[in-house]
Structures are given as structure tokens and as C-alpha cells.
Amino acid sequence: MSRLLVPLAALLAVLAPEHASAQRHADRVPDLHEGALSQLVLGQQRAVSRCARETDSSAHLAEVRVRVSPGAAPATLYSSPIRVVVRSRGRDGALEACVRRAVHAALRRAPYAVPRTVRARHTFQIEGRPEPPLPRHATPYSEAEIQRALTARGRALQRCLGVAGLPEEATLRVAVEPSGRLVLTSATLPSGADRDALSCLNRVITRIRVRGAPARRVTVVHRLGVRQR
């Protein structure tokens, strides 16, 4: 029995530094949240255009949905399960497969820890393809509507910050999708904001729906006053 324990102890001694190194790496990288994942997906515009050229696709839009789930500890994008779903309009299987591979490979290389399941979605306009006309009944896009919707959710957004003390201001950069969906892409927060403020803010913002949607993704800057608690 003692002779069996010696090789096992030797194996553990070899693996321990490698595991510790991986754990230290996971501790150094930032946590993945909805806004960060959305930015990573948005950054694949050139890859989508390249895939359209390589496959000679006639599709004019490609919707990309991503779900990342934490893998074995220490969970990072390199080791965690990544699910990428691509739907093009009109449907083109070769384009969808190419975009799926490109997005998956790009996410694998991104330096983020994955503490929980995170989702993102983006619709890409394919370069050089004509946009379909807007339906006649569609409500025109208005930034004022976006600002009103964000202001209406002001109390919920302020609770995410959890800041006490003198009133300050937070700057939120919110992307508006052609579907009318809102996503927080980045934020400048006051000192003392809660650690999970970005994730909380994005959860509130993604629940907002507006009637008027832009033809392409646009970014709106919203100033959020932080009230004294």
C-alpha cells in the first residue's frame, strides 16, 4: 500500500504548481459580465464581413447569440463551455457556420474569469448587403424615448450602485439593438459603487423595451444622478 502512495504523492506534487498557476491566472483576470461579453461579440464585425465574403453569402443580417457557462475551477473563457448560435437573414448555413467558428475562437482567447452564466446577443449588418425596408407600421427610432425609458428606471439603477455619501453622477453607455433591446456596454461609476454594480445595471437595462428601434445598433449616453442614501 505504501508503495502505491509514493507515485500518487509524486503525481500530486507535479500537478499542484500547475493548478496553483491556473488559479492565480483566474484571480488576476476580470470577471465576465453581460456588458463585457456584449462588447466581445460586437467586436466580431470584421469576422462576420470576412465570412460573408468567403462564403459569397447574400444574407443581409446575422444574429449572434452567445451563452457562456462556468467550467471547472478556475473557470475562464479558455476552459468554460461556450455556446454560439447564429441565424442569418436570408438563411445561409455556410455563413452561419463560419461566423460561429470565428466568434467561438475569439471568445476562447479573451482574458476573463467566468463566475456565472452570462449571455449576449447582437445583430450584425453585413457590409455591402442592402438593408430591408422598414415595415410601414414601424415606430421611428428616437433617442428621447430611450432617455425617458432609462430615466423611468432611475430608482432601480441607483439601487445597483449602493453608494452612500455626497450625490454624484454615473455615466452609462447603452447600446440599442435593431430589435429594440437595450444592453449596457460600459459605465463610469462613482467611487464606492458596489462590486456587482455593472452586472446589476445591465440586468435592469436589458429588461427595458422600447417601441422605436434603430436600423442599426446605436449607442446612447445616459447620465444617472446618484442620490444620497
107-119 tens-digit pLDDT: 999 999 999 999 9
Res 25: pLDDT: 47
Q: What is the mean pLDDT of residues 212-217?
A: 84
Instruction: Tell me the C-alpha distance between 35 and 164, whole Å.
Output: 24
Instruction: Tell me the C-alpha distance between 182 and 204, whole Å.
Output: 10
pLDDT in tens, 16-65: 454 444 444 445 789 999 888 988 998 898 999 999 989 888 888 889 99
Residue 189 pLDDT exceeds 70: yes
* Segments making up each domain of the chain, as ranges: 34-125, 143-226
Res 81: pLDDT: 94
Q: 65-74: b or e for each residue (b if 16 or more CB lie within 10 Å)?
A: bbebebeeeb
Instruction: Tell me the C-alpha distance between 204 and 168, whole Å.
Output: 20
Res 118: pLDDT: 92
Residue 225 pLDDT exceeds 70: yes
| C-alpha closest to that of 113 among 36, 31, 38, 33 | 31
| C-alpha closest to that of 127 among 221, 52, 29 | 52
- List 83's β-bridge partners, or say none: 67
The cell 478556475 sits on which residue?
Answer: 74
Q: Which residues contact 40 (CB under 8 A, 6 or more apart)?
A: 106, 107, 110, 120
Residue 82 pLDDT exceeds 90: yes
| C-alpha closest to that of 202 among 153, 167, 168 | 153
pLDDT in tens, 94-107: 999 999 999 999 99
Task: Report the mean per-residue pLDDT for the chain.
Answer: 81
